[in-house]
Structure 1
Amino acid sequence: MACWVAVDLTRQRLEIRNDAPSGSRDAPPPAADPDTLVHACAISSGLNGIGELDGSGCTPTGWHVVRAAIGEGNPRGAVYRGRRFTGEVFTPRLAAEHPERDWILTRILWLSGRESGINRGRNAAGQRVDSLRRYIYFHGTPSSEPMGTPASHGCIRLRDEDLLCLYRHAPAGTPVLLHA
C-alpha cells in the first residue's frame, strides 16, 4: 500500500503511514498500528497558529496532496529561494551573513489543498485560502531552529534526516492530512 502523511499540529508530530488514509481536519486519524507506522518525527508549524487565510502566517488544516517534490540530487543543506536551488549550501557563516532569511533547506514538498473553500480557492467570504498559492511546504530548516514548537511562517519545518525520509516516501500525489 502507498504511504500517506498525518501531521498533528497540536502535538507538533508528523507520521508517515502505510495504512488507509483516514480522519479529518477536526477528527484526527486513529493511532497508527506499529506495523503501519513508517516514520514519526517532531515538526515546527506556524508561529501564528492554525488557519487558512492568505497572509496569516498560519498553518492550514485539512486534506492536502503533495503537488511537487523539489530538490532531487541536491546536497543536504541546499538553500532554496522561490523553489529554486541557489547554489548555496547552508552554513552558520551563511546564516550570519543573511540573518533576515527564512531558511528553506534540503528539499521542498509543496502542498496543494484538496478541500474547496477550506484550503483550496476562496472561502465563503471570498478570502483566499489556497495552500498552493500560499506556498505551504514541508521543508528543511537549520539545526538551530526548534522542533516540537510552532516557529515557522506557516510551512512545516523538519530536520534534514526526517525531511529526506519524508521525501523518499511521499512523492507527488501523496495524501497529507494536517489536523489539530
Structure 2
Amino acid sequence: MWIEISIPEQRLRLMEGEHCLREWPVSTARNGPGEREGSGCTPRGWHVIRARIGEGMPLGTVFRGRRPTGEICDAALFESDPARDWILTRILWLSGTEPGVNRLGVVDSMRRFIYIHGCPDAFPMGVPRSAGCIRMRNEAVVELFDRVPVGTRVHIRG
C-alpha cells in the first residue's frame, strides 16, 4: 500500500499497487508546491510516514507540537481563534526520502513538520489553503490513519 497526493487535483488516494482503494479531497499549501524551509509550500516527491500520532484520541482533538492540548475543537473554540493553525484528530508525520529534493538541509520535510492531519469542519477541502501540510476532514484522516503503518510510502506530485 502507498499514498498518492495530487496537488493540482487536491486529492489523496490510498493505493494498492496501481489500484485505488479509497480517495479523499484534501487541502494543500496556499503557496503551492515547493520544498524550501520557510516557504509555506507543500513539498513534492517521495516521502514515508515517519510517525503516527493521536491513535485513539477523540475526533477534534487539538494538537500543538504533536501533543494533545486537552482541547476538542468545536464551533465555539474555532470561532475564538479562527486564524490558528489547527492540527486536529490525527497526525501522519512525513519524512522525505530524496536527498536534496525533500530530505536534508533546507528542503527537509520532516524538519519542516510536514503532516497529513485533520482540520476544522469550517475549512474547505479541494482548495489549497494550508501552511504546507496536507489537511483532511477528521473522519477521513482517522480512516486513513487506521489503514497505514509507519513506513508507508507517500508520493506528492505537483
Per-residue deviation, 1:97: 2.0
2:28 touches 2:129 (CA, 8 Å); kept in 1?
A: yes
Q: Tell me, in whole angstroms, the C-alpha distance in 1 between the residues paired with 2:84 and 2:14.
A: 29
| Number of the residue aligned with 2:104 | 121
Alignment of 1:53-68 (within 5 A): 53-68=36-51
| Number of the residue aligned with 2:5 | 7
Q: Which has the higher strand share?
A: 2
Alignment of 1:6-155 (within 5 A): 6-19=4-17, 32=18, 36-122=19-105, 128-155=106-133
Q: Tell me, in whole angstroms, the C-alpha distance in 2 between the residues paired with 1:135 and 1:81.
A: 12
Kindly provide the amino acid, as one letter, of the partner of residue 178 in structure 1. Answer: I
What runs of 5+ residues in structure 1 fail to find an aligned partner?
Answer: 20-31, 123-127
Is 1:171 aligned to 2:154, yes or no?
A: no
Q: Secondary structure at the match of 2:107?
A: coil
TM-score by length of 1: 0.86
Per-residue deviation, 1:162: 1.3
TM-score by length of 2: 0.97
Q: Secondary structure at the match of 1:93?
A: helix
Per-residue deviation, 1:100: 3.4
Per-residue deviation, 1:147: 0.6
> Greater shift after overlay, 162-171 or 128-137?
162-171
* C-alpha distance after superposition, 1:41-63 (max 9, x if no partner): 11000000000000000000000
Q: Tell me, in whole angstroms, the C-alpha distance in 2 between the residues paired with 1:99 and 1:176.
A: 30
> Greater shift after overlay, 38-47 or 161-170?
161-170
> Greater shift after overlay, 164-173 or 109-118?
164-173
Per-residue deviation, 1:168: 1.2
| Number of the residue aligned with 1:27 | none
Work out the number of aligned pairs and report it.
158
